[in-house]
Structure 1
Amino acid sequence: MDLELIIKFLPGLYTIFHFFSLIAAVHAGLTVRTSQGAVAWAVSLVAFPPLALPLYLVFGRNKFNGYIEALREINTRNKNSLVKLLSPILKHKITLPETKLGYFDKLTRFPGSRNNSIELLIDGAETFNAIFNAIDKADKYILIEFFTVHNDETGNRLKHHLITKAEAGVKIFFLYDEFGSRKLSSQYIVEMRRAGINIRPFWTTQGIRNRFQLNFRNHRKIVVVDGWVAFIGGHNIADEYLGLPPASGHWRDTHVRIKGPAVQSIQLAFTEDWYWSAQNKPDIELVSEPARTGNMDAIVLPSGPASRLEVSSLMFVQLINMAKKRLWIASPYFVPNQAVSAALQLAALRGVKIRIMLPLKPDHLLVYLASYSYLYQMSLPNIRFFRYEYGFMHQKVILVDDDLALVGTANIDNRSFYLNFEIGILVHNTLFARDVEKMLEDDFLNCRESGIKDYENKSWFFKLGVRLSHLFAPIL
């Protein structure tokens, strides 16, 4: 009887799916980022409604409209209070003719600034020791935001330091991405809250309109202590970022410690994320202090699906276009869009020496396979690929010529370009660039050069996986 009822209602259900799929197809035609993507979605929705409609609800959106509306609301209600947070930076602001950073303030609302001190933190031990030491010195507040937080030894060390400071009266605001931290136990969160720590998920799916908004991620890694120091980079809060357990192998990653006016921009990025999640601002007075010994020019570059422009993609294109002699890129994932691919090809043709460092060991198989499909496109005399052999390489670093370097959270892939909330800092300083150069030179010693022959010598089964993975490049 149940089977007969199902058969009886199938035509009606299909009609309903088909009706809403037609509406979705029109929506795709009006909103999807590229014409190819719009056509692909429209054809799929019309031809396979029961399959394509659920997929479109999850993967079809490329703008986080709820976030945009939340920021508009807080600025209207509080008379541009978020924008006012940038006021301490203005006296250190860099103007366009004075530095290469001036071009990048057009991409974001955040100005470049002078008088910063920025230091590289290489690998997990150095990074976590620096972060925990800064937390222990907190007097007023701590802002913390990570994509992944695990309830392991590293996560518990963080919890211990935070609870100690909370019990001493320091205000703590903690954001985590609910997808990246899906393994985080409820007990971990409860212990934090009992200590007075305001911890909450970023919560991309809050609100009726965003119920199926599962494809956006908050991939930022931010720590700010009392407005005088901030940390951003590639590390998350988990043992694997320390190479633990030993069987997992060495984990190569890079963070930076920032002091100076640029800290205020990072605080603003956090405050915007917090307002989306909690629908209120952190109840603290955000302050920013100039670095006592810093003389570095820098600009903080937040990006994400709430930006009017495709900030992350345009940022990479501009950096590539600015290179005159050298461009070194380290990224765990290499699935560039057409704009970034074309910019790399043009840079190679005008004589820029390009090195691209990728991991030899994959942690995401599809992305790893897809990266091989770009070897033919990038098979030009001045482009060299290297595979990092000593463990897993997760850093996101770019060096341009001898005076410009970027460290952050964004990968060279479409997810970072369009779907993730990311953050990085671009530094225009010869000494900092020299430190990045030395760090990457040491990394290249742990690499082997890769090229077309690596792909050609693979099995036909591997090559099939590469071609199939390339089809999914727009959502990787």
Structure 2
Amino acid sequence: MGTIGLLLSHELISLLVLVLSVVLIGSVLHQRRPTGSAFAWVLGIVLLPYFAIPLFLMFGGRKFRQRLTSKRLLHHRSYSTLPRGFDPAPPEATTLTWLQSGESAYAEFLRRIQDAKQSIRILTFVLGDDATGRALVHALTERVRAGVDVRLLVDDLLFFRVPKRELRAFEAAGGHVARFMPLWHWPFRGQANLRNHRKIALFDGEIAIVGGMNLADEYMGAEPSAARWRDLSVAVTGPCVGQLDKIFRADWEFAAREELEEAPPETDSGTVARSVDVVPSGPDLRGDPIYDAFLELFFRAEERIWIATPYFSPDDSLLKALEIAVRRGVDVRVVVPQRSNHPLADRIAG
């Protein structure tokens, strides 16, 4: 009887694995994936199902099952506002201040925090338990005590790095902290790998700082550092701030289950071209808007395409678009670091 029970259990497990394999392979083929990635998942599920199936259930997702409404609307808007030419917009449309060093970005953050009168909304992937992270959280706490509404959204993957003592004081003063997708909440939904890498800071709904810099010593600080990543951020004003606010509110509502008041409506006469537009992308949006925007702009470029990126591993379509641009006389230049934090990406970039 025991032997029969074991055989039945083994057959049931085998049947379950077979059904899961068929379902997951269908899911892989349905998703918009690079050919190599899709082939690797299918091969793994077929040859090593007991290993690949749990991995796919934890890390195989590309999109959330439920998209966020405010970003979905922004997604449709972005396609209608992609620049139709490359003439610079009038200076009154949108102002930009490039923050080309960690010191300038840190100084701008502190200044904007200290000058805020109504609200501060910050989204970051990394908040360091270091001099930079502690100083910024302390400055935010001071604004909370002055009556400013401050919201801080941090991705959960590296939340263990946050300055815990300073955050406790921040929350005790009335500040709000939310963690984006806590890992232990999402173990088998295929979404543990869908992290939030956005860096957005909004001050009084009028000024935004966006770019690649996290709030940590390795990205910014009061003093120069040879060990710091070379990155870039920009402080902007104008209609794009309202677009960035929609993205933040959607992420906050998803993470904190709390709706935030919309920022004041952007001013747009309908006759002035914009020098800045926001193209959101991510696992909560249908398709890949940034990918599509790059592809369209590569094909549309007439004079130059200058790219500076830490990781350069374009797929065949993007690479072909750049090759075609070169052949039609466009000045194409790509700047990559000699050494990044991902050796595999360095090898792909050549």
Shared fold per TM-score greater than 0.5:
yes
Q: Could you tell me which runs of 5 or more consecutive residues in structure 1 were left unpaired when the two chains were aligned.
A: 1-5, 103-112, 373-476
Tell me the TM-score normalized by structure 1. 0.63
* Residue 63 (structure 1) aligns with: 63
Q: How does 1:333-412 map to 2 (within 5 A)?
A: 333-372=311-350
- The one-letter code of the counterpart of 1:17 is V
2:53 aligned partner? 53
1:424 maps to which residue?
Answer: none
Where 1:252 maps in the other structure, the secondary structure is coil
Report 1 or 2 for greater relative contact order, CA contacts < 8 Å, sequence distance ≥ 6: 2
Cα contact 2:125–2:158 (8 A) shared by 1: yes
Flag the 1:369–1:188 CA change in 2: closer, same or farther, 3 A. Answer: farther
What is residue 198 of structure 2 aligned with on the other side? 220
How far did residue 49 of structure 1 move?
0.8
> Counterpart in 1 of 2:3?
none
Number of residue pairs the alignment of both structures matches: 337
1: CA distance, partners of 2:97 / 2:340: 29
User: Aligned match of 1:259 in 232, 237, 258?
Assistant: 237
Whether the 8 Å contact between 1:115 and 1:290 is mirrored in structure 2 is no
2: distance between equivalents of 1:219 and 1:208? 18
Q: Which amino acid aligns with 2:282?
A: G
Q: Which residue of 2 aligns with 1:453?
A: none
Confirm whether residue 140 of structure 1 aligns to residue 118 of structure 2.
Answer: yes
| Deviation of the 1:303 alpha carbon | 1.1
Whether 1:193 aligns to 2:178 is no
Distance 1:153 1:328, change over 3 A: same
Deviation for aligned residue 1:275? 1.1
CA distance in 2, matches of 1:127, 1:281: 29
Give, in whole Å, the separation in 2 of the partners of 1:53 and 1:44.
8
Letter in 1 for 2:46: V
For 1:53-94, what per-residue CA distance to the aligned partner results, in whole angstroms no more than 9, with x for missing partners? 02212332221223x1xx34xx7xxxx9x96x99xx9xxxx9
Native 8 Å contact 1:139 1:170 kept in 2 = yes
- State the match for 1:162 in structure 2: 140
Single out whichever of 40-49 and 9-18 deviates more from structure 2. Answer: 9-18
Superposition map of 1:152-301 within 5 A: 152-203=130-181, 211-242=189-220, 249-282=227-260, 284=261, 286-287=263-264, 297-301=275-279
The CA deviation at 1:40 is 3.8
Question: Equivalents in 2 of 1:34, 1:357: separation in Å?
Answer: 24
Shift of 1:33: 3.0
Q: Distance in 2 between matches of 1:276 and 1:300?
A: 20
Show the counterpart of 2:85: 100
On the 8 A contact 2:105/2:220 being kept in 1, the answer is no
The answer to whether the 8 A contact 2:306-2:333 is kept is yes
Question: Are the aligned partners of 1:227 and 1:288 in contact in 2 as well (CA < 8 Å)?
Answer: no
- SS for the counterpart of 1:343 is helix
Which 10-residue stretch deviates more, 353-362 or 57-66?
Answer: 57-66
CA distance, structure 2, for counterparts of residue 25 and residue 176 of structure 1: 33
The sequence identity of aligned pairs, in percent, is 30
Where structure 2 has 5 or more consecutive residues not aligned to the other structure, the ranges are 1-5
Give the CA deviation at 1:189. 3.3
**With structure 2 as the length reference, what TM-score do the two structures score?**
0.84
Q: 1:320 aligns with which of 294, 298, 311?
A: 298
Structure 1 residues 206 and 290: CA distance shift in structure 2, 3 A = farther
What does 1:410-421 align with in structure 2 at a 5 Å threshold? Answer: none
Checking the alignment, whether the CA contact within 8 Å between 2:133 and 2:163 is kept in structure 1 is: no
2:26 — aligned with what? 26
Letter in 2 for 1:333: Y
Contact 1:26 1:42 in 2 (8 A): no
Partner of 2:310: 332
Q: How far apart in 1 are the matches of 2:215 and 2:207?
A: 19
**Alpha-carbon distance in structure 1 between the residues aligned to 2:211 and 2:85:** 22
**Distance in 1 separating the partners of 2:224 and 2:143:** 31
Deviates more, 1:343-352 or 1:247-256: 247-256
Q: Deviations along 1:296-330, whole A, 9 cap, x unmatched?
A: 53211221122223112112212222222221110
Query: Is residue 2:99 matched to residue 1:118?
Result: no
Report deviation, 1:45. 1.1
